[in-house]
Amino acid sequence: MILLGWLFGLMIGGLVAAGLLPALGLVPAVAGILAVIITPIAPIVSPFVGILSIPIALLVGGMGLLVLTIMAYALAAVSLVGATPVAGVIPTNPIESFSRGFIIGLTTAANLLVVSVLTGMPFLTFVVLIFGFLATIPPVAANRVIYQPLLGLLSWGLPMTWLVMPLGVMLFILNLPLAFAQSGFAALRFDFFTFTFETSGGALVNFLFGLSPLPSASGFNLGNFTFLSLAPGSAPSTVQSPSFSVPGLSAHETGHTLTVAAFGGFFGWINAVDENIAPLARGTSAYGEIIPESHFSPRGFPFLPMW
């Protein structure tokens, strides 16, 4: 079902692009598989958006992707209600699997669109397509030696990841000197399993944790940057996992790196609301939490096997 959902998401994403690209005069720039999807349906869809200005057309496309992601996220989350244990493996179901694949397919299509328009290089669009497809194959997605490091590396260049990455870059730059001042160079680590920077502590990050509606919050992720809460006077090793390849907070947060790469930045922001904001505030039971929790699990929380 996850593969079927991916194909459907890819087609729906292509349908959105079929309306946007002709309106923006960008169809000739599209290369590779996306051109195959768009060409037959562009004449049907483009008249409905051709009258829009470029900013409005982009807004319509972006809002369309956001709404579709919210709907699929909600459908997957509702399908798991009552099936989420306090800890351990969560059994999936066809609705969740289809919804998960749909979000990945939608994100793959959006990434294809932007990469194709910006580069015009069929090889790059093919790489984006393949990595999105491979995320739907459980044994491949769970491969921590080849696939996950390459997905983490590719994430740096995926357009949908950059819906969250700019904040990660900015916070990393602003907070890093403060983290060094608090704990020295031990506050910074780099995970080669996902190509992610991890920062422990720092006055700015600790201030943000103080604003969290969840008192138990201890880490968060913004693309290829993760940030851990560290009390003044404590050593980074008290919150960091011994390594990124053992169950713990560090591996969970880098699981978010992989999740944002495959599911897109909209998924990351939706999860932030699901996890933290009332009336949801579901914490570790949020749908966007149980997927990254599978990364080097278990550590005593519910997880949906993927990473």
pLDDT tens profile 130-178: 999 999 999 999 999 999 999 999 999 999 999 999 999 999 999 999 9
Q: What angle in degrees, to the nearest 10, is found between the helix axes of 122-134 and 147-155?
A: 130
Segment 55-83 mean pLDDT: 87
Separation of alpha carbons 253 and 271, rounded Å = 13
150: Cα separation from own chain's centroid:
15
Strand order across the 196-200 sheet: 188-191, 196-200, 225-228, 219-221
Cα–Cα dist 81/75, whole Å: 10
Tens digit of each residue's pLDDT (9 = 90 or more) over 30-44 = 445 555 555 565 555
Residue 304 confidence (pLDDT): 95
Identity (one letter) of the amino acid at 211?
L
The predicted pLDDT at position 82 comes to 82
Model pTM score: 0.90
Average confidence (pLDDT) over 220-239: 96
CA 279 – CA 288 distance, rounded (Å): 16
pLDDT at 114: 83
- As a whole number, mean pLDDT of residues 201-223 equals 91
Question: What distance in Å separates the CA atoms of residue 243 and residue 191, rounded to the nearest whole number?
Answer: 9
Q: Quick check: 28 pLDDT over 50?
A: no
pLDDT tens for each residue of 258-307: 999 999 999 999 999 999 998 998 998 999 999 999 999 888 899 999 99
Per domain, the residue ranges of the chain are 2-136, 165-303
Please give the pLDDT value at position 246: 94
- In a 10 Å sphere around its CB, with 0-12 CB exposed, 13-18 middle and 19+ buried, how is residue 255 labelled? buried
24 or 251, which is more confident: 251
